[in-house]
Amino acid sequence: MKRLGILTGGGDAPGLNAVIRAAVKTAISVYGCEVFGIKNGYDGFLDEDGIMPLGMKEVRGILPRGGTILGSANRGNPYARKVIRDGQEVTIDVSDEIIKGINKLKLEALLVLGGDGTLHIAHELWQKGVPVIGVPKTIDNDIGGTEITFGFDTALNIATEALDRLHTTAESHHRAMVLELMGRDAGFIALQAGLSGGADVILIPEIPFKFESVMSKIRERAEKGSKFSILAVSEGAKPIGGAQSFSRKGDEIYVPRLGGIGQVVAEYIEKQGFESRVTVLGHLQRGGTPTSFDRSLATRYGAAAVRLAGRGGFDRMVALRCGTITDIPLEEATAIPKRVKLGDDAVITARNVGISFGDE
Ligand code: F6P
């Protein structure tokens, strides 16, 4: 293996640069490879200046940096690209052009750092002969087959710190403080941050809630003398029999954007006579420097992905299982998204320590 490409697709996550750095260093020093960075996800193969050489100089100092030096795109599905033709928007398949770009670069392996969408595309490109290797990225931690994705730990730490900060102001003002957290249809961030930040209520997409159960918890606390409460609410949480909240509807260009359930919950609490405020943590969960855990995990993933490419293990994704890096078929990783299970020990533990999921 002498020519390796790397791309980063989908929403960014802390640790992308650490993966790139480790992959470049391993590829150069162990395999004597020439490495190319593809800019802005798969789009880089279509753009004139979409490719950049990646040498030791380019990756110097990027280990602690958030974001991605390659740029990313979360609307770059090559199988369904929106373009304007004769004044009309049409969806076209540009996967063959992408394959041409890969062949032109004579890539012998392409590392794809992405979430479910980006990895699914990678698997489809493999079926057209592209030698892809996946690296699981997302703050949501919702990729199957791996215990953890890089980026999740950083988001979790930011969310936990936010809960700690909300605690002190909640206590001073005797308020119910709602923190809306990311995660799409998976509740891992809210669940784990809620546990480590001492939330009183955790609402996640996997456990639809009853408004009245949320209120019972707040009332019960007030009766026992705690006149404040902390609620960690996943953006994808929804009431039993109700729907998820969206801040923007989907259209031809954008996928639907989750958001607003925190406000809905806070308004309900206020109507019941308890003062409440909502904080939407948003993209703060994705920005900035990765934690030490994410730096180390991302570095291990980056080096392991290059070793996997060196062995010709294409159409596979590096994964963490029982604390060890291994690899699994991309198809397995993308087949079923990972979700919080009701029997997970974290859920049981949360209930044991008196946290309400609003379902009882
Ligand atoms: O998948 C990562 C994520 O941050 C989700 O938690 C969130 O719903 C979404 O991306 C936000 O996407 P965007 O950056 O397009 O607003």
C-alpha atoms less than 13 angstroms from C-alpha of 282 in its C-beta half-sphere:
8
The predicted pLDDT at position 255 comes to 82
Which residue's CA is the closest to the ligand 1 atom numbered 12? 11
Residues 82 and 109 in one domain: yes
Distance between CA 91 and CA 103 in Å, rounded?
24
Look up residue 184 and give its DSSP letter. Answer: T
How do residues 128-185 score in pLDDT, each as one tens digit? 999 999 999 999 999 999 999 999 999 999 999 999 999 999 999 999 999 999 999 9
Q: Considering the domain boundaries, does residue 357 fall inside one?
A: no
The predicted pLDDT at position 62 comes to 98
- CB of 74 closer than 6 angstroms to any ligand 1 atom: yes
Residues 176 and 91 in one domain: no
- CB of 140 closer than 6 angstroms to any ligand 1 atom: yes
Q: Considering the domain boundaries, does residue 332 fall inside one?
A: no
Which residue's CA is the closest to the ligand 1 atom numbered 10? 11
Residues 137 and 102 in one domain: yes
Residues 187 and 226 in one domain: yes
The predicted pLDDT at position 252 comes to 67
Residues 104 and 182 in one domain: no
Query: CATH number, domain at 132?
Result: 3.40.50.450
Task: Using the atom order of ligand 1, give the atom closest to the CA of residue 183.
Answer: 6
Residues 134 and 237 in one domain: no
Range with the lowest mean pLDDT among 187-196, 219-228, 253-262? 253-262
Q: Are 234 and 190 in contact (CB under 8 A)?
A: yes
Q: Considering the domain boundaries, does residue 359 fall inside one?
A: no
Average pLDDT of span 96-108? 95
- CB of 138 closer than 6 angstroms to any ligand 1 atom: yes
How do residues 20-41 score in pLDDT, each as one tens digit? 999 999 999 999 999 999 999 9
Ligand 1 centroid vs 306 CA: distance in angstroms? 27
Query: CATH number, domain at 282?
Result: 3.40.50.460
Residues 270 and 307 in one domain: no
Q: Considering the domain boundaries, does residue 217 fall inside one?
A: yes
The predicted pLDDT at position 343 comes to 97
- Which DSSP string corresponds to 64-120? T--S-TT---SS--TTSEEEEETTEEEEE--HHHHHHHHHHTT-SEEEEEE-HHHHH
Residues 53 and 116 in one domain: yes
Q: Considering the domain boundaries, does residue 358 fall inside one?
A: no
Give the residue numbers annotated as catalytic, written as ranges.
Answer: 140
Residues 77 and 159 in one domain: no
Ramachandran angles phi, psi of 149, nearest 5°: -100, 155
Residues 90 and 170 in one domain: no
Q: Considering the domain boundaries, does residue 310 fall inside one?
A: yes
- CB of 238 closer than 6 angstroms to any ligand 1 atom: no
Instruction: Give CA 151 to chain center in angstroms.
Output: 7
Q: By residue range, what is the domain housing residue 276?
A: 152-286+341-352
How do residues 280-297 score in pLDDT, each as one tens digit? 999 999 999 999 999 999
Which pTM value belongs to this model?
0.96
Residues 204 and 269 in one domain: yes
The predicted pLDDT at position 319 comes to 98
Task: Using the atom order of ligand 1, give the atom closest to the CA of residue 74.
Answer: 15
The predicted pLDDT at position 171 comes to 97
Task: Using the atom order of ligand 1, give the atom closest to the CA of residue 254.
Answer: 15
- CB of 157 closer than 6 angstroms to any ligand 1 atom: no
User: Amino acid letter at 308?
Assistant: L
- CB of 137 closer than 6 angstroms to any ligand 1 atom: no
How do residues 261-286 score in pLDDT, each as one tens digit? 999 999 999 999 999 999 999 999 99
Ligand 1 centroid vs 271 CA: distance in angstroms? 30
Range with the lowest mean pLDDT among 220-234, 243-257, 324-338? 243-257
Range with the lowest mean pLDDT among 196-200, 254-258, 351-355? 254-258
Number of domains comprising the chain: 2
Task: Using the atom order of ligand 1, give the atom closest to the CA of residue 142.
Answer: 1
Query: In sequence order, which residues have a C-beta less than 8 Å from that of residue 85 and are 6 or more positions away?
Result: none
Mean pLDDT of the chain: 96
Residues 90 and 73 in one domain: yes
